[in-house]
């Protein structure tokens, strides 16, 4: 992901090289291609508007213009480059999530020196996000059963109040959960039975292959 993101714009052959390597990883991992692409497509929606902002640039030859808005060759190149970076990075990230358990990922982050507090926050978010979704769904269903969401304006108003109420509930519940965790010996990091200390031969081989792929990809032009 770092190699993909840090590659300068316009290095199409490099990204083609990395995409072939990612495709091989997907085939070896045997993950469902439909499931993988559906997750990437869902996450891509959140960065779509940001990507469009890279299209409008003053540098390069003008392809199309309308008033003060113009699309140039540089803008198209930057948009294509950033879009490809995001797509390949999301593929790599979701491939990791689909092939590695979340506790092992958190334990790996700790082994790599990630601040324990940051890992604890991510672990809590992962564990309780489903609780928050269920709480919000229950509040929305209760409002619908009372015919409070009759039009768009009232729907936005009700959902806004529901989100505010949910924030207060989660804050209070978070305090109670934290006190209960401290009472049970919580020290900032969730206990785990997985021991990731030391490298195995396959880990060293995978690391060497990754470094080689990154190096060959950067040599491509």
Chain segment 36-78, per-residue pLDDT in tens: 889 888 888 888 777 777 777 667 677 766 766 767 777 788 8
pLDDT(212) > 70: yes
Whether residue 7 sits in one domain with residue 93: yes
Compute, in degrees rounded to 10, the torsion defined by CA atoms 50, 54, 57, 61.
-140
Asked if the structure places residue 193 within a domain, the reply is: no
Asked if the structure places residue 30 within a domain, the reply is: yes
Domain count for the chain, please give it.
2
Which of 52, 108, 40 lies closest to 78 in space, CA to CA?
Answer: 52
Whether residue 174 sits in one domain with residue 93: no
Q: Alpha-carbon distance 26 to 36, whole Å?
A: 9
Whether residue 150 sits in one domain with residue 62: no
pTM here is 0.69
Whether residue 154 sits in one domain with residue 205: no
Asked if the structure places residue 116 within a domain, the reply is: yes
Asked if the structure places residue 196 within a domain, the reply is: no
Whether residue 6 sits in one domain with residue 95: yes
Whether residue 161 sits in one domain with residue 113: yes
Whether residue 22 sits in one domain with residue 92: yes
Average pLDDT over every residue of 94-107:
87
Going from the C-alpha of 149 to that of each of 30, 53, 154, 167, the distances in angstroms are 44, 34, 6, 21
Whether residue 21 sits in one domain with residue 58: yes
Asked if the structure places residue 195 within a domain, the reply is: no
Whether residue 212 sits in one domain with residue 160: no
Q: What is the mean pLDDT of the chain?
A: 81
* Residue whose entry in the numeric block shows the structure tokens 């990630």: 114
HEC readout, the chain: CHHHHHCCCCCHHHHHHHHHHHHHHHHHHCCCHHHHHHHHHHHHHHHHHHHHCCCCCCCCCEEEEECCEEEEHHHHHHHHHHHHHHHHHHHHHHHHHHHCCHHHHHHHHHHCCCCHHHHHHHHHHHHHHHHHHHHHHHHHHHHHHCCCCCCHHHHHHHHHHHHHHHHHHHHHHHHHHHHHHHHCCCCCCCCCCCCCCCCCHHHHHHHHHHHHHHHHHHHCC
Q: In the structure, what pLDDT confidence band is assigned to residue 91 with cuts at 50, 70 and 90?
A: very high
Whether residue 123 sits in one domain with residue 71: no
pLDDT(191) > 70: no
Asked if the structure places residue 17 within a domain, the reply is: yes
Quote the radius of gyration of the chain (alpha carbons, Å): 23
Whether residue 87 sits in one domain with residue 142: no
φ/ψ (deg, to 5) at 66: -150, 100
Asked if the structure places residue 192 within a domain, the reply is: no
Whether residue 114 sits in one domain with residue 44: no
Q: In Å, how far from its chain's centre is CA 212?
A: 25
Average pLDDT over every residue of 91-112:
86
User: Which residues constitute the domain of residue 114?
Assistant: 109-183
Structure tokens at 91: 């593929």
Asked if the structure places residue 189 within a domain, the reply is: no
Q: Using an 8 Å Cβ cutoff, are 210 and 1 in contact?
A: no
Task: Evaluate the CA torsion angle 18, 22, 23, 24 in order and state its sign.
Answer: positive
Q: Say what the pLDDT of residue 131 is.
A: 77
């Amino acid at each position: 992901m770092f190699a993909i993101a840090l590659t300068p714009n316009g290095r199409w052959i490099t990204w083609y090289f990395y995409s072939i390597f990612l495709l091989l990883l997907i085939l070896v991992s045997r993950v469902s291609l439909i499931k993988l692409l559906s997750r990437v497509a869902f996450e891509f929606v959140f960065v779509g508007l940001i990507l469009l902002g890279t299209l409008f640039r003053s540098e390069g030859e003008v392809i199309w213009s309308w008033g003060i808005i113009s699309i140039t060759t540089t803008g198209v190149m930057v948009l294509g480059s950033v879009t490809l970076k995001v797509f390949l990075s999301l593929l790599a990230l979701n491939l990791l999530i689909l092939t590695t358990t979340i506790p092992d990922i958190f334990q790996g982050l700790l082994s790599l020196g990630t601040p324990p507090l940051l890992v604890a926050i991510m672990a809590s978010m992962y564990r309780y996000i489903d609780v928050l979704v269920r709480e919000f769904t229950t509040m929305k269903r209760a409002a619908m059963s009372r015919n409070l969401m009759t039009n768009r304006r009232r729907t936005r108003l009700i959902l806004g109040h529901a989100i505010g109420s949910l924030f207060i509930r989660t804050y209070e519940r978070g305090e109670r959960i934290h006190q209960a965790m401290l009472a049970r010996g919580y020290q900032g990091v969730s206990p785990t039975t997985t021991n990731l200390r030391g490298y195995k031969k396959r880990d060293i081989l995978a690391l060497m292959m990754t470094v080689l792929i990154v190096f060959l990809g950067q040599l491509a032009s």
